Structure 1
Amino acid sequence: MSPTLQQLLLLLLLLTLLASTALSHLPSSSVTTTTSLSIYDWQSARATYYAASDPRDAVGGACGYGDLVKAGYGMATVGLSEPLFERGQICGACFVLRCVDDMRWCIPGTSIIVTATNFCAPNYGFTADGGGHCNPPNKHLVLPIEAFEKIAIWKAGNMPVQYRRIKCRKEGGIRFTIDGSNIFISVLITNVAGVGDIVSVKIKGSRTGWLPMGRNWGQNWHVSADLKNQPLSFEVTSSDGLTVTSYNVAPKAWNFGQTFEGKQFP
């Protein structure tokens, strides 16, 4: 006996429901989604350089690292314009730069790895496309001439480049330089591997719990607490969500001005 039209319609409805149920239980990896731009993608910017005519040019900076050579960064550093600097959050991040588009001045096949240590302030006396290189919305990088000449001839001036965020490779552990006075503790955090930039810090004495520290400026963090005559531990969290805890990094007899080394990010 041939099936009736009603039976065929019921069979078709049943098959449709079964197919819908099966698709709803597919693993999430089978679904294509749109994600934001990866920090590891190449992006376009422009770069200039400064000549260190005075040794003091290598000291200071908006990230608070002080003497860049003593802090371990040397001349492989970069100052970033406002759209890239993120109000100091980016301090310590590492980038690879390459010269592009202008083959008159680029050194072919070269690139350089630099660490964000400074801020390139805008100059509103000029327009963004008329001399105000670091004015918003420009993505601009300023390098020491020693770094710039690794990828381009110095006569190039304001060069088109590409940059890409990469993980930092550092020797040894995270360094904690303790400053302040009495019950005000300021800690400069340097030599951070992994993504390089820090989003939160906690400090702990032997007689206290974990105390959140506030960002003072750059990678200087502070807390008001009496932590003298206590060994100090630190909990550091980077922008990718990883946390490293270094217990009893500073001994009981620590003093202001000293630097101590803790654990390191992978």
Structure 2
Amino acid sequence: MQLSLPSLLLLLLLAALSPPATSHYSSSTSSPSSVSSSASEWRPARATYYAATNPRDEVGGACGYGDLVKSGYGMATVGLSETLFERGQICGACFELRCVDDLRWCIPGTSIILTATNFCAPNYGFDPDGGGHCNPPNKHFVLPIEAFGKIAIWKAGNMPVQYRRCSPGLAIYVIALGRINCRREGSIRFTIDGGGIFISVLITNVAGSGDISAVKVKGSRTGWLPMGRNWGQNWHINADLKNQALSFEVTASDRSTVTAYNVAPRNWDYGQTFEGKQFETP
């Protein structure tokens, strides 16, 4: 029997709402931090760019990723206005941007996938419609000039764009329509810092939805312990976990979860980076 397109999409939607049947992921009871059920729709915003003049411009950012090249993000990154940044919960998420409404400056038929790695602070000395591009309620993206040049002529300056994200809970349905995923090379990376019983873990190179809503850590002599968000994608806990192998459970904003066992060996030390499992993407 051949199904019509509406019937096929309805079946895909019902399948997406069913509980996952794989062992690699599990469903979390926490609500997504940053994406709504209509997040796959194109939405209006504006975008500007910055021109890197010094290698230090590729280091830092409000998400704490440090050197963006070494962290695996390169220059396909973006800073978000306050309305979009969500106090750092959005860090690591991927957006697709395309230039619209300007035949003179837009490069037709192009779009670019960018990772949120920085914050564009408001400037209340200017109106949102004036120089305060990143003031609320503006939805504004600040791109490296290399990325901006993929969708528009650099002379354009402040450009109207459209953006979208993937939609949690409707994964199969959105795949049928062209789901947006963060695609990464290699595994999730865990960089351990701190001192004494204070442990801070920076989590980078996350595929799938890209942003993280919850993290748990387990020592070889403990149960699973919830970590708190320190800032960006830095997570912390006060616990004596030295001389124990460490495992991590990472839950993304789309409620998918990946568990990486024995990521750090028993003799781990502060300042070291380890790799665990990665979210699978279609």
Global fold match (TM > 0.5): yes
Partner Cα separation in structure 2 for residue 37 and residue 131 of structure 1? 32
Given the alignment of the two structures, is residue 73 of structure 1 paired with residue 73 of structure 2, yes or no? yes
Partner Cα separation in structure 2 for residue 103 and residue 69 of structure 1? 33
Q: Which of the residues 166, 176, 190 maps onto 1:176?
A: 190
Given the alignment of the two structures, is residue 201 of structure 1 paired with residue 215 of structure 2, yes or no? yes
Given the superposition, is the C-alpha separation of residues 79 and 186 from structure 1 closer, same or farther in structure 2, using an over 3 Å criterion? same
Partner Cα separation in structure 2 for residue 189 and residue 37 of structure 1? 26
Partner Cα separation in structure 1 for residue 125 and residue 183 of structure 2? 39
Residue type of the alignment partner of 1:110: T
- Equivalences for 1:139-218 in 2 at 5 Å? 139-165=139-165, 166-218=180-232
Residue type of the alignment partner of 2:256: L
On the 8 A contact 2:123/2:135 being kept in 1, the answer is yes
- Equivalences for 1:15-54 in 2 at 5 Å? 38-54=38-54
Find the counterpart in structure 1 of residue 271 from structure 2.
257
Find the counterpart in structure 1 of residue 56 from structure 2.
56
Q: Give the C-alpha shift of residue 38 in structure 1.
A: 1.3
Secondary structure at the aligned position of 1:67 is classed as: coil
Structure 2, unmatched stretches of 5+, are: 1-13, 15-35, 166-179
Q: TM-score, normalised to structure 1's length?
A: 0.85
Secondary structure at the aligned position of 2:57 is classed as: helix
Partner Cα separation in structure 2 for residue 201 and residue 144 of structure 1? 30
Partner Cα separation in structure 2 for residue 226 and residue 183 of structure 1? 5
Find the counterpart in structure 2 of residue 230 from structure 1.
244
Partner Cα separation in structure 1 for residue 162 and residue 37 of structure 2? 15
What is the number of equivalent residue pairs in this alignment? 232
Question: % of aligned pairs identical?
Answer: 83
Q: RCO greater where, 1 or 2, for CA within 8 Å and sep 6 or more?
A: 2
Q: TM-score, normalised to structure 2's length?
A: 0.80
Superposed CA deviations along residues 196-247 of structure 1, whole A, max 9, x for unmatched, are 1100101111111111111000000001111111100001111111111111
Secondary structure at the aligned position of 1:173 is classed as: coil
Secondary structure at the aligned position of 1:121 is classed as: coil
Partner Cα separation in structure 2 for residue 240 and residue 72 of structure 1? 22
Secondary structure at the aligned position of 1:146 is classed as: helix
Superposed CA deviations along residues 118-152 of structure 1, whole A, max 9, x for unmatched, are 11100000000011000000000000011001111
Given the superposition, is the C-alpha separation of residues 248 and 37 from structure 1 closer, same or farther in structure 2, using an over 3 Å criterion? closer
Secondary structure at the aligned position of 2:187 is classed as: coil
User: Alpha carbon RMSD of aligned pairs, Å?
Assistant: 1.1
Secondary structure at the aligned position of 2:263 is classed as: strand
* Structure 1: 4+ residue segments shifted above 6 A: none
Structure 1, unmatched stretches of 5+, are: 1-28, 30-35
Partner Cα separation in structure 1 for residue 39 and residue 122 of structure 2? 24
Q: Give the C-alpha shift of residue 171 in structure 1.
A: 2.0
Find the counterpart in structure 2 of residue 220 from structure 1.
234
Residue type of the alignment partner of 2:152: A
